[in-house]
Amino acid sequence: MESDILFVKPSFVRGMARTLDFWGVLDDYNSSKSEKSADNLALHSDWVAIDKDFWSSFFEVQKEIEKVQKEVRDVQIVKADK
């Protein structure tokens, strides 16, 4: 789910036409049954994005920790060999 769910994704031609649309005639938005429905959908989308970012960061930090632990083990092995 993306954070721009309330906006229509324009085509190239519509994007070019919008450069001359000074009065906002071509502005389109996705609609919902109600304001509450739109809010719920947007809130859900936000939490999905937060979850995705959290797990991405978690695994990145986990890789970094494993890298540092390996470096520490390598240093300990070198010191033990001396």
Mean pLDDT, all residues of the chain: 84
Per residue, the 3-state secondary structure of the chain, as one string, reads CCCCCCECCCCHHHHHHHCCCCCCCCCCECCCCCHHHHHHHHHHHHHHHHHHHHHHHHHHHHHHHHHHHHHHHHHHHHHHHC
Per-residue pLDDT tens digits for 70-80: 999 988 888 78
Question: pTM score, two decimals?
Answer: 0.56
Domain boundaries, the chain: 12-81
Average pLDDT for 39-57: 93
